[in-house]
Amino acid sequence: MRTSVFQSDEQRAMKIQFQKMHGTLNDFVVFADMDNSVALSESTVARLCDRRAGIGADGLIVVRPSAVAHFFMDYYNSDGSIAEMCGNGIRCLAKYVFDNDLLREREQHIETRAGIKTVSLEVGDDGRVQCVQVDMGVPIFATPKIPVLVSPEQEPVLNYPLEVQGRIFRSSFVSMGNPHCVIFVDEQIESLPTVYGPAIERHSLFPQKTNVEFVRIVSTGRLTMRVWERGSGETLSCGTGACAAAVIGILQHVVQTPVTVDLLGGTLEIQWNGPGSSVLMSGPATRVYEGSITL
């Protein structure tokens, strides 16, 4: 597993050129460090992502060199913690490297802490990336690898009675390179992430915390979802979370592939042909602006 490069806050200040980007309004600070000269502390990342004291973002992405793929995605949550994978973020990284001429290939291989992901780019008439499809890999249901501290007789674990704040949620567990707790409900979901998300994220069942998805069924081909992201709080979109929701929905036979997942920030398309097959996620990637900042 790749580790990160950290610095102490006392180290010499450095100016970086960055781009602000988003995938279905899940937003990121993105910059390239191809000589591994930029070291980051947790507090520096948190300051850059702060919406009042910094640039403001759900996460930070550093494009670094890789010995096994085209690039390595060094990804951080907005609180400065390291994350294994980000589905919306990897689409933004792919657009960043293509549009900035770091790699003009329409198929890219990106190393992440959750393995190497293959992305396919859809380029518009202006020569810039508009949409990205990501091979997210095979979902992981083995509880020690998610990880979640339950011991079922068989996997996957579906509709587990998770008690939090005096309420029981029927929860299903999967890893899309990072841990997810997927909860299907019949009620309105708008307030559920902020009310229950923090407690579920830090529940004792999840030794590395978890992302939390509250999901409603719209039709056999459509879901609507709200998300509480580990290390970032409620966000307008989560790519791995949309994949997790679609996978659990398909397993429970409430939706069929392909699945459209509606989030506050937009729509993602998810394809999955069942156990043993990879999940394909398609969605937009958008550059908002560029600038420079001193670390």
Q: How far is CA 65 from CA 43, 62, 69, in A?
A: 24, 10, 8
Q: Determine whether 131 is an active site residue.
A: no
Q: What per-residue string of b and e applies to 219-250 under the rule 16 or more CB within 10 Å gives b?
A: eeeebbbbbbbbbbbbbbbbbbbbbbbbbbbb
CATH code of the region 143-277: 3.10.310.10
Give me the catalytic one of 49, 92, 181, 238: 238
> Are the CB atoms for 201 and 77 separated by under 8 Å?
no
| The residue to which tokens 């709200």 are assigned | 226
* Mean pLDDT, residues 95-114: 97
Tens of pLDDT, residues 207-232: 999 999 999 999 999 999 999 999 99
Whether the pLDDT of residue 11 is over 90: the answer is no
Entry pTM: 0.90
Q: Determine whether 243 is an active site residue.
A: no
For the chain, the domains span 15-131+284-294, 143-277
Query: How would you classify residue 49: left for phi > 0, otherwise alpha for psi between -120 and 50, otherwise beta?
Result: alpha
Q: 125 Cβ partners below 8 Å, 6+ apart?
A: none
**Token pair of 210, please?**
């978890």
Give me the catalytic one of 49, 86, 181, 243: 86
How would residue 13 be classed by pLDDT, with cut points 50, 70 and 90?
A: confident
Whether the pLDDT of residue 10 is over 50: the answer is no
Q: Is it true that 15-131+284-294 and 143-277 share their CATH fold?
A: yes
Q: What is the pLDDT of residue 14?
A: 87
Residue 52: Cβ within 10 Å count: 5
Tens of pLDDT, residues 256-273: 999 999 999 999 999 999
> Are the CB atoms for 196 and 167 separated by under 8 Å?
yes
**Token pair of 168, please?**
């029981």
How would residue 72 be classed by pLDDT, with cut points 50, 70 and 90?
A: very high
CATH code of the region 15-131+284-294: 3.10.310.10
* Mean pLDDT, residues 169-191: 97
H helix or E strand, kind and range, residue 89: helix 87-99
Whether the pLDDT of residue 127 is over 80: the answer is yes
**C-alpha–C-alpha distance, residues 223 and 259, integer Å:** 7
**Token pair of 16, please?**
């970086």
